[in-house]
Amino acid sequence: MLLFFTWWYGEELKNVLKYFETLFAYLFDLFSIRICLSTLFAVWRRDKVNYKGLPIKDIFQAWTMNIASRLVGAVVKIFTIFAYLLVSILCLIFVIFFLLVWLSFPLVVLALIYLGIKNILGL
């Protein structure tokens, strides 16, 4: 019995925590947060208009298109970061709930066995 508790609260708990660490690393990579933060104001999908050799009117139009493309890129990346934060918070809530259940599960099983035996014996 002591060996089970050592395994449950020691080795297996470390494996579960390592799994959740991997989950959060996967989410960070899935949402490409590092790329979103490093290219926050870069043009969206490399949609950049070249304005070399154009008249002034077309240069202004190309410049506004480039700024609009950067703003679209920033908005999409900010929403991606927001979605990552939302999913991470939901996963964190799940992890906390799971760990509470994980830590209390053997004790709850022992308590239920005790109560079942007590109920059967009529004590």
Encode pLDDT of 41-77 as tens digits: 887 766 666 777 778 878 788 788 888 888 888 999 9
Positive or negative CA dihedral for 5, 8, 11, 14? Answer: negative
User: By C-alpha distance, which of 117, 106, 101 is closest to 4?
Assistant: 106
110, 8 Cβ separation under 8 angstroms: no
Residue carrying structure tokens 């950049």: 48
Model pLDDT, residue 105: 93
Overall pTM surpassing 0.75 (yes/no): yes
Percent of the chain with pLDDT over 70: 96
What's the half-sphere exposure (Cβ side, CA atoms, 13 Å) at 32? 10
DSSP, res 78: H
Q: Which two tokens stand for residue 113?
A: 């066995």
Residue 73 CB neighbours (<10 A): 20
Q: Output phi, psi for 115, to 5 deg.
A: -65, -35
Coil, helix or strand at residue 33: helix
